[in-house]
Amino acid sequence: MRRGTRTVFEDIQLNVDSGDCVILTGENGSGKSTLIESIAGIIPIQSGSVNLAKPFGLTLQSGGINGDELVGERIELAANCGGISDSESLLAEWNLQHRRQDRVCHLSGGLYRRLAVLQGLIPAYGSEKRICILDEPSEGLDENSVRILVEHISALRARGSAFLIATHDQRLHDCATHLFNLEKGVTQTTPNNRPVDVPVKSNTTPTVAFSKWSAKLDQRTMWPILSRGVPFIASCLVLYAMLGNSFDSLILIPAFLASIPPLSSLHHAKDARSGDWWLAMGGRLFAIDPLSVILIGVAPLLTVSFFAVTEQTALGTLDWLMVGFPFIGIYLASGAIHELANKMPRAQAQFIPLLTLVLIWPFLIASDAVEQCLNSGLCEDFSMGIIIATILPITIAFGLPILHPRTASN
């Protein structure tokens, strides 16, 4: 198991059975978070395997919650992934019910952490036994919240659920059955049980609704318009200022610039590492938003209509809509390239986004097909050129997932 060029673990074995509460201990930098994230399927490993019962609960040290979500939405999504129903009443258990309609970014640090901890515990509140993985859950919590955390872990453990917790906080040792020091090994301990009644929720079929999550954030932040509409409009105005109506082969540049930005779902996934939480739940960070597809598909027609180019060519409205197909393909391929970069061991530090330069090729093929019709009226090969320009990026979009790094859990 590696972090960059450093080997963090070699030949490590860890068993967490029903009713166990294993607490990982060790100095800063000893690898507690690395082990947690490798088990959860976030960090790729070089060899070995993880047998992790799903669904499971997860609290990341960074929280893993996008700031534009609503508190109630986050709990509902976590409950869907964890396979339990009637999750909203759990907000009252953690004194969060009064912030249900607030955006997560408006919470204080302590309330944000409380929400992240509840998110990780949710699967264990069901009637079936689950495992919850918590990374520094008490960090930032006040004394009362830590007391609730210890009491609920003890009660849920007594019901048969299991816990794997990375922490420096000695107070959480009260609910531990094993202490696992990453340098010295495992020691058994007796938990200081604190009997308390906690809710028992009905179990349902787990669902990972990543696309639904991304669509809500798209609507709330209008990111597709900002990331695609602004480049499209700006490039049209610049071209018009420079060239007037004589666009020629440059007429497709606005559509190309609108199709190149990363998927909005990847943008949302960067906030507080919320994408890592979804990856651990089994989601794919590739979500197509219909607004972007529509905007990109009609971008060539909008460009030529706005500048009255349609009146000067043999291409009709349907032809210009057909020209939008390669750019929808470029949109999908660009999304797949940035998704691959995001799944690398150190996201955003790879040269993989340079692969987007390959997408200039289908753009040039489509531009050549359009230019022949605009300048010489030779449109016999127009359809074939557009088809080839569409197939190339579609092939890239569906082929790149083969290169995704594999984790121990998959």
Q: How far is CA 369 from CA 45, 356, 359, 400, in A?
A: 46, 21, 16, 27
33 and 169 both lie in a single domain? yes
259 and 377 both lie in a single domain? yes
227 and 365 both lie in a single domain? yes
**CA separation for the pair 75, 101 (Å, rounded):** 11
**CA separation for the pair 368, 355 (Å, rounded):** 22
Flag whether 205 is in a domain: no
Flag whether 80 is in a domain: yes
Which pLDDT score, from 0 to 100, does residue 239 have? 84
Which pLDDT score, from 0 to 100, does residue 346 have? 62
Pairing of strands 57-59, 185-188: unpaired
Structure tokens, 58: 């997860």
327 and 220 both lie in a single domain? yes
3-state secondary structure of 228: helix
Domain that holds residue 345: 210-403
Flag whether 357 is in a domain: yes
Flag whether 200 is in a domain: no
Half-sphere exposure of 210 (CA within 13 A, CB side): 20
**CA separation for the pair 205, 310 (Å, rounded):** 53
Structure tokens, 167: 């922490």
Alpha helices in 60-209 (DSSP H): 71-82, 90-93, 109-121, 143-158
220 and 81 both lie in a single domain? no
Flag whether 196 is in a domain: no
Flag whether 194 is in a domain: no
**CA separation for the pair 70, 103 (Å, rounded):** 4
Pairing of strands 131-135, 21-25: unpaired
Q: Per-residue confidence of the chain (410 residues) as pLDDT tens digits?
A: 555 555 666 678 889 999 999 999 988 877 899 899 989 988 887 777 889 999 999 999 999 999 999 999 999 999 999 999 988 899 999 999 999 999 999 999 999 999 999 999 999 999 999 999 999 999 999 999 999 999 999 999 999 999 999 999 999 999 999 999 988 888 899 888 777 899 999 999 999 999 999 999 999 999 999 999 999 999 988 888 877 666 666 889 999 999 999 999 999 999 999 999 999 999 889 999 999 999 999 999 998 887 766 555 678 889 999 999 999 999 999 999 988 888 776 655 566 677 788 999 999 999 999 888 877 767 778 999 999 999 999 999 999 888 877 665 45
Nearest Cα neighbor of 139 from 116, 159, 104, 113 is: 113
Which pLDDT score, from 0 to 100, does residue 6 have? 58
Flag whether 202 is in a domain: no
Q: 163: part of which helix (H) or strand (E)?
A: strand 162-166
**CA separation for the pair 174, 161 (Å, rounded):** 16
250 and 387 both lie in a single domain? yes
In contact, 32 and 39? CB cutoff 8 Å: no
User: What pTM was estimated for this model as a whole?
Assistant: 0.91
Based on the structure, what is the number of domains in the chain?
A: 2
In contact, 370 and 254? CB cutoff 8 Å: no
Structure tokens, 272: 């507080």
234 and 352 both lie in a single domain? yes
229 and 170 both lie in a single domain? no
CATH number of the domain within which 137 lies: 3.40.50.300
Amino acid at 250: L
**SS (HEC) of 294-363:** HHHHHHHHHHHHHCCCHHHCCCCHHHHHHHHHHHHHHHHHHHHHHHHHHCCCCCCCCCHHHHHHHHHHHH
The pair phi, psi for residue 165, each rounded to 5°, is: -130, 130
**CA separation for the pair 144, 147 (Å, rounded):** 5
